[in-house]
Amino acid sequence: MDQPLVLLEIAGRIATLTLNHPEKRNALSRALLTELREHLQQLAGRKEVRAVILRAEGKVFSSGHDLRELADCSEADATSLFALCTEVMLAIRALPQPVIAQVQGLATAAGCQLAATCDLVVAATEASFATPGVKIGLFCTTPGVALARAVTPKKAMEMLLTGTPMSAADAERAGLVNRVVPSERLASEARQMAEQIATASGAITALGKKAFYQQLPLPCPAAYDQAQPIMTANALMAAAQEGIRAFLEKRPPHWKD
């Protein structure tokens, strides 16, 4: 039996998704993307899961698309492959649970897109990020969508036009990475972040994640128009009322969701 390309482990309130094809540098092949999509669909309905860690086996987080699938491919094949990749990226953003990318090595092209799409990124000191498609005549147009929403347009264009890898430290300064830690602390740092997120109400975290991305592209007045009714509805929810009472009574909240 073939080894799964993506592993799913659930421990308590935290799920871990592992890209499990290190011999192919965790390339985002059609098969791997399909398995990842299926796991994301499953997790979307698991209300007991409060946070997700996305990690990878081996030295490379992900080398991007499997170029063998694009060599001499038909228009239909290319269209379906990129559509599948986009579907996976959008599924991560739509997932009720926050997703933390645990990046231990190189994240390049669509692999960089995958990391940038996650809600948070914890990287090892040795990690690096690149969108080098321009060097082989395949500009990283779709990875650029996620990249441009994580760093400034100038920095995104520099990465897209030059293909030069960005170190983890530079990625943190640019806003692509939240935290950089030594490799021996990478897993514990990502886990600690996930556990902190998991202490909150799952329903409130899901509401907040969705609302954040809805208002993000809007001008400031329109963003407030979008956010204010959600804030009002949130204040009336049972979880918010429990949290407020717990704060006033100086006790831990007891979440029911």
Residues 115, 101 contacting (CB under 8 angstroms)? yes
- 163, 217: one domain: no
- 212, 187: one domain: no
Structure confidence at residue 14 (pLDDT): 98
In-domain check, residue 256: no
Q: Is the pLDDT of residue 1 over 60?
A: no
Structure confidence at residue 2 (pLDDT): 79
Quote the domain boundaries for residue 231: 202-248
Structure confidence at residue 154 (pLDDT): 97
Summarize the chain as % helix, strand, coil (round to 5): 55, 15, 30
In-domain check, residue 193: yes
Q: How far apart are CA 233 and CA 84, in angstroms?
A: 34
pLDDT digits (tens, 9 = 90+) for 97-152: 999 999 999 999 999 999 999 999 999 999 999 999 999 999 999 999 999 999 99
- 11, 134: one domain: yes
In-domain check, residue 99: yes
Kindly provide the residue ranges of all beta strands, DSSP E only, lying in 14-142, ordered along the sequence. 14-19, 51-56, 60-62, 99-103, 106-108, 120-124, 128-130
Q: Is the pLDDT of residue 191 over 80?
A: yes
Residue type, 87: E
Q: How far apart are CA 175 and CA 179, in angstroms?
A: 10
pLDDT digits (tens, 9 = 90+) for 2-53: 799 999 999 999 999 999 999 999 999 999 999 999 999 999 999 999 999 9
DSSP characters for 142-172?
Answer: HHHHHHHTTS-HHHHHHHHHH---EEHHHHH
In-domain check, residue 1: no
Structure confidence at residue 256 (pLDDT): 86
Q: How far apart are CA 85 and CA 142, in angstroms?
A: 9
Q: How far apart are CA 60 and CA 62, in angstroms?
A: 5
Identify the CA nearest to 8 among candidates 34, 33, 42, 31. Answer: 42
CATH number, residue 31: 3.90.226.10
- 61, 184: one domain: yes
Mean pLDDT of 74-102: 97
Residue type, 243: G
Question: CA-CA distances (angstroms) from residue 139 to 60, 92, 133, 134, 143?
Answer: 21, 23, 5, 4, 9
pLDDT confidence of 172, banded at 50, 70, 90?
A: very high
- Residue 27, classified by CB atoms within 10 Å of its CB into exposed (0-12), middle (13-18) or buried (19+), is buried
Q: How many domains does the chain have?
A: 2
- 144, 28: one domain: yes
Structure confidence at residue 168 (pLDDT): 98
Q: How far apart are CA 98 and CA 160, in angstroms?
A: 27
- 85, 191: one domain: yes
Looking at every residue in the chain, the average pLDDT score rounds to 96
In-domain check, residue 119: yes
